[in-house]
Structure 1
Amino acid sequence: MALSKAKIIVERSSGQEIIEVMFNPTEYELDTANEFTDDEVPGLQTPLAQYTGGKETTLTMDLFFDSYELGEDVRKFTSKIANILDVDSDLHAPPPCRFVWGSLDFKGVLNSVKQRFTMFHESGVPVRATLSVSFTSTQSMKEQYQEIPRQSADRTKQRTVKLGDHLWMLAADEYDDPGAWRHIAEANGIDNPRELTPGRKLTIPRLE
Structure 2
Amino acid sequence: MERVAFVVDETGERIDCLLNPETFEVKRLAGIRTPAAGESRLVGRGRADDPVRFTGGGRTELLLDMVFDVALVESRSAPQDVRQLTAKLWNLAENTAEELGSARPPLVRLVWGRSWNVPGVIAAIAERFDAFGPTGAPGRSWMRLKLVRVDEPKQAGARDFDGELARSGAGTAPGTAPTAVQALGDGSTGPGGTGRIDLLAMEALGSPMRWRELAEHNGVDDPFAVAPGRVLSVPATGGRP
Whether these two folds match at TM > 0.5 is yes
Asked whether the 8 Å contact 2:97–2:106 carries over to 1, the reply is: no
Amino acid at match of 1:7: A
Asked whether the 8 Å contact 2:107–2:120 carries over to 1, the reply is: yes
List aligned pairs for 1:31-42, cutoff 5 A. Answer: 31-36=27-32
Amino acid at match of 1:115: E
Q: Deviations over 1:1-59 (max 9, x none)?
A: xx2011001124xx2210000000122001002133689xxxx9689766431311000
2:46 pairs with 1:54: no
List aligned pairs for 1:5-154, cutoff 5 A. Answer: 5-12=3-10, 15-36=11-32, 51-68=54-71, 70-88=78-96, 90-91=98-99, 92-102=103-113, 103-139=115-151
Q: Deviations over 1:133-181 (max 9, x none)?
A: 00001116989xxxxxxxxxxxxxxxxxxxxxxxxxxxxxxxxxxxxxx
Q: Deviations over 1:63-112 (max 9, x none)?
A: 10000363521111111101111222555321001111130122110011
Distance 1:90 1:52 in 2: 27
3-state secondary structure, aligned to 1:68? helix
User: CA shift at 1:126, angstroms?
Assistant: 1.0
Bigger mean CA offset, 57-66 vs 46-55: 46-55
3-state secondary structure, aligned to 2:135? coil
Q: Deviations over 1:104-140 (max 9, x none)?
A: 1221100111011111111111110011100001116
Task: Rate the CA distance shift 1:17–1:141 in 2: closer, same or farther, 3 A.
Answer: closer
Distance 1:19 1:141 in 2: 20
Task: Rate the CA distance shift 1:120–1:55 in 2: closer, same or farther, 3 A.
Answer: same
Question: What root-mean-square deviation, in Å, do the aligned CA atoms of Structure 1 and Structure 2 show?
Answer: 2.9
TM-score of the two chains, using structure 1 as the length reference: 0.57
Amino acid at match of 1:93: R
Task: Rate the CA distance shift 1:23–1:54 in 2: closer, same or farther, 3 A.
Answer: same
1:204 is matched with none
TM-score of the two chains, using structure 2 as the length reference: 0.49
Which sections of structure 1, spanning at least 5 residues, go unmatched?
144-208
Asked whether the 8 Å contact 2:130–2:140 carries over to 1, the reply is: yes
Q: Count the aligned residue pairs.
A: 135
3-state secondary structure, aligned to 1:82? helix
Distance 2:85 2:58 in 1: 32
Identity of aligned residues (%): 27
More strand by share: 1
Which sections of structure 2, spanning at least 5 residues, go unmatched?
36-42, 73-77, 156-241
Asked whether the 8 Å contact 1:118–1:126 carries over to 2, the reply is: yes
